[in-house]
Amino acid sequence: MIATNTNTDPKFLTPSKTVNTQGAVYDAVIRRRPKAWDSNVPSGWYMFIGDQPRVPSSAQSYSLALASEFEDVRDQIRCFGDLPGGWDSYRAGPMSSVAIENALVAVNRLQEFGIKPSRVAPTSDGSILIRYLREETKFEWEFYSDGENLRIEIDQHGNEAYREVPPDEIPNLV
């Protein structure tokens, strides 16, 4: 029997995880405790199979903590959409939904690899900056409001390589 999450509200969802429970495979989602729950239930992150919460085993607790950190990054990126024009007290434009969506694609892919961004920030030119370290190389991505994406790769000697990345190639180049 396969149970899937029926809550499609994007602020509650993280990438689906397949969970093997005593030989059965389920699609699961990790999300925050719904506000409608009894206030005696501790707040935090829970694994859901369908609409049923599951208490994580100790083996799953690291996965939940990591999911929590990545969900916080996604929440931060989504909040950039609420920035008004001129948010930086100069001429910064508001973030577009395209820039936000492309940045979220990158964060979802980083989560698959267990690579946490060291910096996520809006920039004054209307882009979203995501920085992370992979092995000895620093990567900086800028997701622009017009849909363009730039990946900067900085090696251990400070050499920089720039690459424009179409949206459909973001998952392959993170």
- Across the range 112-119, mean pLDDT stands at 91
The larger pLDDT score, comparing residue 99 to residue 7, is at: 99
Return the number of other C-beta atoms located less than 10 Å from residue 139's C-beta: 20
Lowest mean pLDDT among 51-55, 82-86, 170-174: 51-55
User: pLDDT at position 39, please?
Assistant: 55
Are 13 and 7 in contact by the 8 Å Cβ rule? The answer is: yes
Q: Is 1.10.101 the CATH classification of the domain at 68-173?
A: no
pLDDT at residue 141 tops 80 = yes
60-96 pLDDT, tens per residue? 444 555 677 888 899 999 999 888 888 877 777 788 9
Domain boundaries, the chain: 1-55, 68-173
The token pair at 89 is 């007290």
Predicted pLDDT of residue 119: 94
Position 31 scores a pLDDT of 55
Evaluate the CA torsion angle 56, 58, 60, 65 in order and state its sign: positive
> What value does the mean pLDDT of the chain take?
75
Question: Six-digit token pair at 173?
Answer: 């180049």
Instruction: Give the DSSP H or E segment for 110.
Output: helix 97-113
More confidently predicted of 137 and 24: 137
Contacts of 147 (CB under 8 A, 6+ apart): 96, 98, 99, 102, 167
User: Model's pTM, two decimal places?
Assistant: 0.64
83 to 87, 119, 172: CA distances (angstroms)? 6, 18, 29
Q: From CA 130, how far away is CA 70, in angstroms rounded?
A: 13
